[in-house]
A and B are shown apart, each in its own frame.
Chain A
Amino acid sequence: MKKILILSTALTGLASAAHADLTVMSWGGAYGEAQTEAFVKPFMATTGIKTIMVDSDNPATPVKAMVESGNVTVDVANIEYADAIRLCDEGVLEPIDIATLPAGADGTPAADDFLPGAVTECAVSTDIWSNVFAYDTTKFAEGPTKVADFFDLEKFPGKRGLKKGAKAVLELALMGDGVPASEVYAVLSTPEGVDRAFAKLDTIKKDVVWWEAGSQAPQLLADGEVAMTTAYNGRIFAAAMNEGKPFQIVWDGQIYENEMFVVPKGAPNKEDAMKFIAFSTSTEGLRASAQQISYGPARKSSMATEIIFKDGKTVMAPHLPTAPENMTNALETSSEFWVDHDAELNERFQAWLSQ
């Protein structure tokens, strides 16, 4: 009996000490750090709500699993646009009312201040990010400039890093095969188009190192494990700025989209979660995030004045996916396409990988 008492008191003490008031799930690495600095710390200082950040390779997957198993431990999650649409349809997310979001710093209502599509039924954009490919400038006298160069093993020998998943990889393969950005999804919607994308990937398959977590990509490049790799553009920027790595981004064939904050259905602290989202996606919140990492804010008012990187001198504009000079051959991810084909193409991708 005495033992049981000791056990229960000990466990009680431990369990109650560990509960946080708000749990935010994001993608870790440089991105997670940027969001901690831009969102979490100011939010804690302003509201006094104890907030912890947890990492995932892709928060959409654990969020869905949590809601379906009825064990939600996350209050706010940062997920991709197509996932935000799909999970909203599946009833996994709480609706977010755009009217509850703060007006821009200049007084414009949120509905007009956000870029088109940046606020959906269940989600609010935190930033616009991009899948790009990057290389180590010390490895090539004359570096790649076109998306086709990524697949050119003769001109640019060396291993390639690619994200282990169908999304953004199949698009890249088609663009590398000469399909213009505007036609990518039309081609990919046909069985021949899918075959064509996999055939293009076959040409480099034996030289590919697959990565899963966003922070692996710059790491592979830094370790010399690959000569060039696809990556989230902010991760490459962070490695170049914060660690002085000689990395260069190739914007040709970039695939960009909105990243969204969502609240899983049954979140333990729903009200604080909504407060957190309103706080973070305000004019200042989005601006603070763009000062930390090179992902563009989705509010017009956040870009009213020039955004300067946290080092105090680098102008962010040319490093953002939305900069005009980076948009010459750019593809916006089609959420409609991926809502429908995510499961099927990922299964095909797994089968292709293991062959």
Chain B
Amino acid sequence: MAEDATTLLKTADGRPLKAALATAQARSRRRAFLLVLPLLAFVLLTFLIPIGYMLKRSFEHDGFSANAPALVQWFAENPGFDPANPPEAAFAALVQDLAKMQADKTTGMVGTRINYTVPGTISLFKSGARAAKDLAPPYKEALLAEDAKWGQPALWRGMYDASSTYTGDFYQVAVDRKLTDDGWARGGDKERIYVYLFVKTFLVSALITVICLLLAFPVSHLLATLPMAKSSLLMILVLLPFWTSLLVRTTAWIALLQEQGVVNNMLVALGLVSDGNRLSMMYNMTGTIVAMTHVLLPFMILPLYSVMRVIPPSYARAARSLGATSWTTFRRVYLPQTLPGIAAGSLLVFILAVGYYITPALVGGADGQLISNLVSFHMTKSNWSLAAALAALLLVAILVLYWVYDRLVGIDRLKFG
């Protein structure tokens, strides 16, 4: 009915109103989009493309594939070879490549690439390359006589994997799998580190989120129920740390918590601990958790506060007047109304905690390191593809959380101060 009415209506210049409206709307949509476009382009160039580039790096390494052409070709032609017993042709290609590596000075690059999946091979490639030009057929026997390690099935599997520039090897390593003579398998317990650190990072982040929630709840409640003038004043106590440099706050915690720091000195002066038994609260997990809780607490208080502020006190009063105890009132009436704030704050704190780097790096010591620190470790050690693979796994986890946050809370609800 309404549909019919609009089709009949015409604008002053005789066009159907519906079409004119659609044109106008399209135009205003375009205008709105044009305003956003410069920023989108900027973010694309300086942020999204770099992250895409990182993802590409996590699958890419040409240290071997670019420097061992003969073997790459042989692998391409014989994908089903037996790594336990490669034929003479494979060894011939290998010797040819080794001689080329020696001439091109690329043994280091090749060795480093294979070393990522088969440790201890850098010197093998080095000595092999040095000897290559003097070797005579049959190459298999000659090379094995040079060093029996050339016959390892794991090495041949590693070279086969590395003969492709694009590989999932680094993701295998990133989930603690090792290349053995029989293919990829679960790594030994002493070498398992990445999955353990991922789990640890998530557990620590969850713990910090819970601590933040427990600390933030009463404070937000107080801020939300006090008269405006007083709560604004107290709010400064929350906002000042929020605005203070992260490095300043980390420094402050070092000053407070280290063995010769303010807190330990106070405890010793009060006689609570003896001088020889000062508490270790810094450069370990305790230090990381305390400092991170402090840094992230405002991110919990602010969303909780903004939700609590608008909860009408009359509901609680009504519950009490209907005979509910104060505990029941809290549990059944007040708490459910704060859930949006709890969800918003917890997710935000958790997301930020999972990716934390600076604080654990400075105060974490040995056991207070999180997954970000390991990414950084591999970056500085130039194992870029592994760093990128670990970062990519972390990114996936974060994006899932971000999506949940958007679903539950809505990103446009983010606010500061």
Contacts and interface: CB of A to CB of B under 8 A. Distances in A.
A341 B115 CA distance: 9
A352 B122 CA distance: 23
Interface in B221-279: 258-260, 276
Contact of B122 (A208, A209, A339): A339
Interface stretch (A61-69, A126-134, A279-287): A61-69
A86 B108 contact: yes
B140 interface: no
B65 interface: no
Interface in A326-355: 336, 339-341, 343-344, 346-348, 350-355
A68 B258 contact: no
A180 interface: no
A343 B115 contact: yes
Contacts of B122: 86, 339-340, 343
Interface in B339-386: 365-367, 369, 374, 377, 379-384
A89 interface: yes
A198 to B, nearest CB: 8
Interface stretch (B151-159, B188-196, B299-307): B188-196
B106 A340 contact: no
Given A91-B108, A348-B191, A354 B260 contact: no
B382 A354 contact: no
A344 B120 contact: yes
B: interface residue count bin? 35 or more
A346 B374 CA distance: 12
Contact of A336 (B123, B196, B260): B123
A90 B108 contact: yes
A164 B221 CA distance: 45
A16 B381 CA distance: 32
B20 to A, nearest CB: 38
A94 interface: no
B109 A350 contact: no
A185 to B, nearest CB: 13
A107 B89 CA distance: 56
Contacts of B380: 61-62, 65
A94 to B, nearest CB: 12
Interface string B122-164: 1100100000000000000000000000000000000000000
Contacts of B260: 223-225
A36 B258 CA distance: 32
B5 to A, nearest CB: 52
A340 B367 CA distance: 27
A355 B383 CA distance: 22
B171 interface: no
B200 A354 contact: yes
Contacts of A156: none
Contacts of B126: 89, 339
Nearest to A159: B259
A89 B382 contact: no
A210 B362 CA distance: 12
Contact of B193 (A198, A225, A343, A351): A351
Given A62-B380, A225-B259, A350-B374, A340 B365 contact: no
Contact of A208 (B107, B191, B366): B366
A92 B381 CA distance: 14
A158 B26 CA distance: 75
A339 B190 contact: no
Given A61-B380, A209-B365, A340-B122, A351 B108 contact: no
A350 B382 contact: no
Contacts, number: 87
A340 B120 contact: yes
B193 A354 contact: yes
A350 B115 contact: no
A9 to B, nearest CB: 23
A40 to B, nearest CB: 25
A45 B193 CA distance: 51
A347 B176 CA distance: 11
Interface in A255-287: none
Contact of A354 (B109, B112, B197): B197
A353 B190 contact: no
A347 B106 contact: no
Given A61-B382, A68-B382, A351 B367 contact: no
Interface string A190-220: 0000000010000000001110000000000
Contacts of A352: 190
Contacts of B120: 340-341, 344
A210 B200 CA distance: 20
Contacts of B119: 341, 343-344, 347
A225 B254 CA distance: 12
B259 A224 contact: yes
Contacts of B259: 159, 223-225
Interface in B372-417: 374, 377, 379-384
B366 A348 contact: no
Contacts of B106: 91
B91 interface: no
Contacts of A355: 196
B105 A347 contact: no
B64 interface: no
Interface in B168-193: 190-193
Nearest to A351: B193
A90 B112 contact: yes
A50 to B, nearest CB: 28
Interface string A70-99: 000000000000000011011110000000
Contacts of B193: 347, 350-351, 354
A124 to B, nearest CB: 20
A353 B367 contact: yes
A8 to B, nearest CB: 18
Contacts of B108: 86-87, 89-92
A250 B384 CA distance: 39
Contacts of A91: 105-106, 108-109
Contact of A353 (B276, B283, B366, B383): B366
Give the most central of B258, B366, B377, B384: most A CB within 10 Å. B366
A355 B196 CA distance: 9
Given A61-B381, A347-B193, A354-B369, 5 more contacts: A61-B382, A90-B112, A92-B108, A225-B259, A351-B190
The 7 closest A-B pairs by CB, nearest first: A90-B108, A344-B119, A351-B193, A89-B108, A340-B123, A353-B366, A61-B380
14 contacts: A89-B105, A89-B126, A157-B276, A198-B190, A223-B260, A225-B260, A339-B122, A343-B112, A343-B122, A346-B381, A348-B191, A350-B193, A353-B366, A355-B196
Interface of A: 61-62, 64-65, 68, 86-87, 89-92, 157, 159, 164, 198, 208-210, 223-225, 336, 339-341, 343-344, 346-348, 350-355
